Amino acid sequence: MKLRDTVTIALKAVTGNRARSLLTMLGIIIGVGAVVLMTSVGESMQSVILGQISALGPKTVAIWPGKNGPEQGAATLNPDFDSITMNDIEALRRLKTISYVTPVIFMPGKVKYGTEESDVTVSGTTPDSYINQPIIATEGRLHDEQDELNGRQVAVLGPDTARDLFGNSSPIGKRIDIGNQKFTVIGVLEAKGSQFFQNMDERILVPFETARVSSQRSYVDMVGTMATGDTADAINDIQFLLRRRHHIIPPTTGIATDNDDFLVRSAEQAQEILGTVSTSLTAFITMIATVSLVVGGIGIMNIMLVAVTERTREIGLRKALGANRNDILLQFLIEAIVLTLLGGIIGLLLGLGMNALVVGIASKFLERYIFAVNFIAMAAALLMAAGTGLAFGIYPARKAAELNPIEALRYE
């Protein structure tokens, strides 16, 4: 018997009882659908985050005071909030392995224009930050070295902040209150959307010097910089420098930073962390898929056993007409595989459809959230589905193949 004939018979058997076939396949459909959906969402999220990292520039290195990294407005929770001083900044600027050292001070106080009020974050930063994270002004201009040197009271607004405070009228030249000081708006930033779940369009940038003077601080909240070469070298240099300046005994082994009163992170490290996260996510999805495919497989085995009993006479007839054990074995085995593979394909399409739905919704909230699929996961899910058919179809198929033709023909 030709394989093609066997497949034809199997397809006929599967399509002959559509409702039952569909119910039988349900476990496989859900399993494969879930895998396709989850891996696709994972892929999309990864591309969003990787896109943000690469927009940030993989050479970006950030330094925060304290052990636990960025905790804005949580100075009281961070006993080392004042560990990075202006003198540290000057020392960092002398390092060869980094360039564009841009300190940041977050200014406290409410932002006001007339009766409009906003809790937007006000960052005092040097014009170098516009090189680290390239951005342009769509209206007016960005602050420059002159503003910096003179400590001018000027402000650049994110587009959302501009709209919140000024509606549709132009904010350029208008004066706003930050805390108890007056600032003149000189520019509006281009829209950037969200980065790391932070709205980049809702912020105010002022010259660093202005922020430093007005807050009367000698320490900074954050330092952004760029590695000139290898980021690992840059991180080493920064850690060495700050530990020496802060009299911290360097850790003797590994990367332990327990004694540090600062934290250094690079975009590259973030990428690596993301890689680890996505690996554990994949392992988790694989586990779910395996469980659902096993459950689905037991369903397939059940229904195949019923099919063998139901078609006992047919099996007897086929044997009487000359079918050998292998012909019967293959017929039922292929029927099981056709069931699971078909279920797999339906699940795949369902997963892709659901993913399209998710993309439709998510792209409204997340910039750069695009339709992405993991082809390897899709192929693996289909293969696993077919493998399930093989594994769980073999027992019923053997049962069918071993039937005695005379008894099978007499079966009522």
Contact 248, 259 (CB under 8 A): yes
Output the CA angle 156-210-73, nearest 5 degrees.
80
Task: Choose, by CB under 8 A, the member of 173, 322, 364, 375 that binds another protein.
Answer: 322
Q: Between 3 and 255, whose beta carbon lies closer to another protein? A: 3
Q: CA distances (Å), 55 to each of 189, 363, 385, 411, in order?
A: 16, 18, 39, 71
CB of 19 to another protein, least distance (A): 15
Contact call for residue 361 and another protein (CB under 8 A):
no
Contact 290, 385 (CB under 8 A): no
Contact call for residue 212 and another protein (CB under 8 A):
no
> Which residue type is seen at 338?
V
CB of 409 to another protein, least distance (A): 7
Contact call for residue 18 and another protein (CB under 8 A):
no
Contact call for residue 19 and another protein (CB under 8 A):
no
Estimate the crossing angle of helix 375-401 against helix 18-56, to 10 degrees.
160
Task: Choose, by CB under 8 A, the member of 20, 96, 244, 313 that binds another protein.
Answer: 313
Output the CA angle 136-140-143, nearest 5 degrees.
65
Contact call for residue 335 and another protein (CB under 8 A):
no
Task: Choose, by CB under 8 A, the member of 318, 355, 369, 382 that binds another protein.
Answer: 318
Q: The tokens of 126 are what?
A: 């040097």
Residue whose token pair is 């959302």 = 160
Q: How far, in Å, CA of 20 to CA of 260, rounded? A: 65
Q: Which stretch binds another protein (CB under 8 A): 123-131, 173-181, 321-329, 370-378?
A: 321-329
Contact call for residue 11 and another protein (CB under 8 A):
no
Q: The tokens of 308 are what?
A: 């063998």
Q: Between 142 and 409, whose beta carbon lies closer to another protein? A: 409
Tell me 256's DSSP state: -
Contact call for residue 1 and another protein (CB under 8 A):
yes
Q: How far, in Å, CA of 366 to CA of 363, rounded? A: 5
Q: How far, in Å, CA of 148 to CA of 143, rounded? A: 8
Contact call for residue 326 and another protein (CB under 8 A):
yes
Task: Choose, by CB under 8 A, the member of 319, 330, 342, 403 that binds another protein.
Answer: 319
Contact call for residue 15 and another protein (CB under 8 A):
no
Q: Which stretch binds another protein (CB under 8 A): 141-149, 165-173, 356-364, 402-410?
A: 402-410
Report 231-290 residues binding another protein (CB under 8 A).
none
Contact call for residue 309 and another protein (CB under 8 A):
no
Q: How far, in Å, CA of 115 to CA of 334, rounded? A: 75
Where on the chain is the footprint of another protein (CB under 8 A)? 1-2, 4-5, 16, 313-314, 317-327, 405-406, 409
